[in-house]
Amino acid sequence: MVGGTLGVEAALSLAHLVIFGRPGSGKSSLAERLGADFGYRLIRTGELLREAVRRQDSLGRQVESQLKAGQLVPDDLIGTLLETNLVAGNQERLIFDGFPRTLGQVAILERIEERCQLSIDAYVDIHLSLELAARRMTGRRVCPKCAATYHLINRPPRVAERCDHDGIMLISRTDDSAEVVAIRQQIYEQHSGPLLAHYRQTMGAKFQEIDGSGTFAEVYQSLCRHLGLVG
């Protein structure tokens, strides 16, 4: 066997991943980068729901009526939506980004694995403390004139609170206010606790926890190393 072949085989065998992480963990950016570097298609239920509504097929109309009524889209409907989007026996490489979100959706994923003849090779949690995630999210600033983005800690402007390009006073997005961040984190913790505990207990070595506290480059490198993916 030629040197390096094992690495390629290891990379190819990890065809289906699930990635978890709290708001602010960088989970979705990491998934996007993995997709770009290693040819994974990202499966995001939010995007699938929006697409279905735009298509206005029977599934899309069901989704739309749930959303209009202010209801959460039932897990069964999400499952059907995912199944119609995945081709059984297809060789494509997938990352489930933010699914399953709740313990109730675990069975949905198992059903998908069975019906679409695929199996999840690794479950990865990008771990970050609540404090650090909140600091990252509330530290974001944006220029209201040119839309340049900054971060008070990671990417501060040259002059405090002023845009580098035009000197305009920077603002926070309403999504990033301490109050909204706290609510999003609370919702995440409510669901993720039992969900991660389930996978930690049942998946053995297939479940991996990655330290998400470093820079994006550091976390991405660590993620690739844990998955045996070499860019």
Which positions lie near Zn ion, rule CB under 5 A?
143, 145-146, 148, 163, 165-166
**Minimum CB distance to Zn ion smaller for 169 or for 230:** 169
**Minimum CB distance to Zn ion smaller for 107 or for 146:** 146
**Minimum CB distance to Zn ion smaller for 23 or for 157:** 157
Q: How far is the CB of 171 from Zn ion (least distance, A)?
A: 11
**Minimum CB distance to Zn ion smaller for 145 or for 226:** 145
**Minimum CB distance to Zn ion smaller for 155 or for 165:** 165
- For residue 92, how many C-alpha atoms fall within 13 Å in the half-sphere facing its CB? 14
Distance of CA 142 to the CA centre of its chain: 23
Q: 3-state secondary structure string, the chain?
A: CCCCHHHHHHHHHCCEEEEEECCCCCHHHHHHHHHHHHCEEEECHHHHHHHHHHHCCHHHHHHHHHHHCCCCCCHHHHHHHHHHHCCCCCCCEEEEECCCCCHHHHHHHHHHHHHCCCCCCEEEEEECCHHHHHHHHHCEEECCCCCCEEECCCECCCCCCECCCCCCECECCHHHCHHHHHHHHHHHHHHHHHHHHHHHHHHHHHEEEEECCCCHHHHHHHHHHHHCCCC
Q: How far is the CB of 181 from Zn ion (least distance, A)?
A: 23
**Minimum CB distance to Zn ion smaller for 102 or for 172:** 172
Q: How far is the CB of 142 from Zn ion (least distance, A)?
A: 9
Q: How far is the CB of 140 from Zn ion (least distance, A)?
A: 15
Q: How far is the CB of 136 from Zn ion (least distance, A)?
A: 21
Query: Under a CB-based contact definition with an 8 Å cutoff, are residues 133 and 23 in contact?
Result: yes
Q: How far is the CB of 137 from Zn ion (least distance, A)?
A: 21
Q: Rounded CA gap, 231 and 211, in Å?
A: 20
Smallest Cα–Cα separation from 23: which of 199, 207, 190? 190
Q: How far is the CB of 178 from Zn ion (least distance, A)?
A: 24
**Minimum CB distance to Zn ion smaller for 54 or for 145:** 145
